[in-house]
Structure formats: C-alpha cells, structure tokens
Amino acid sequence: GRRGFELTVQFGDWVRRDARGVGFDSSAGFLLPNGAERSPDLAWIERSRWAQIPPEQQRRFAPICPDFVVELLSPRDDVGEIQAKLREYIACGARLGWFIDPDRRRLEVYRPGRPPEMVENPATIAGDPEMPGLVIDLTRIF
C-alpha cells in the first residue's frame, strides 16, 4: 500500500502539471480491443481519446486501451502473469508500459515493436519520449 501510494502521488502530480491526459488508479477498468477487462495499477489516456468515450461508458469498464500503463508487483502477484498483461496492453495499443518489481529493484519497460527493456536498480524512470516530462523517483518506492 505504501509503495502504491507513493507511485500514485508522483504520477498524479505529473498528470496535473502535464494536463494533456487523464490519469487513473487501479479502481478504473478498461475493456481492451481483444475483449479482456483490465485494471492496471496506474493508467493514462490522452484527453482527446478519452473524450470520444460516451460518459455512460466512462463510468464503467471503458472500451479503450490506455496509452500508458503501470503495474506494480505485489506479494500475491505472479511475475509471468504481470509480464503477459504488459505484452497484452502493448498489443492492444498502449504506447508505453512499466512493470515495477520493488523487491527485486527491477523495472521492465514495454514499447510497441521492441522487446522489453530490463533496468536493474534504477533511481528514477522517465517516460520520454512517449510521456514527456514524466519522471518517477523509484528510490521512494524501492
């Protein structure tokens, strides 16, 4: 809970400063183009894309794939399942995905058309170029 809260605070600060999109926490759900229902730990959708979703659909599992997703590994999660979810988000249209494993102090970065990038013990992670200006201080999460 503490780690997720810290991640949400940092992400939320960027979403407000940036103002190009809408941020979501894990209570939001999305119906992906492949039919899967997913609730990433954090998500972001460009404001113009979100505005195309009718308001009544915005209140439930919205039929859209986020542009950016974050999954934070918790003790009850299976690493392979989380990695499969990140690959699924990218296949369904996400431009960037992060899988944060705080106990191993590892980050996996997912982008379309590329293999996942593994980063060991990073102090920060930046969202450039897909999410300009987004920087998360991982020392506060690890």
Q: Which residues of the chain have pLDDT under 50?
A: none
CA atoms within 13 A on the CB side of 122: 18
pLDDT at position 130: 96
pLDDT the model gives residue 61: 94
Indicate the pTM of the whole model: 0.95
pLDDT at 1: 85
Q: Where are the beta strands (DSSP E) in 61-140?
A: 68-72, 96-101, 106-110, 117-120, 124-126, 135-137
pLDDT score of 112: 98
Neighbours of 75 (CB within 10 A): 5
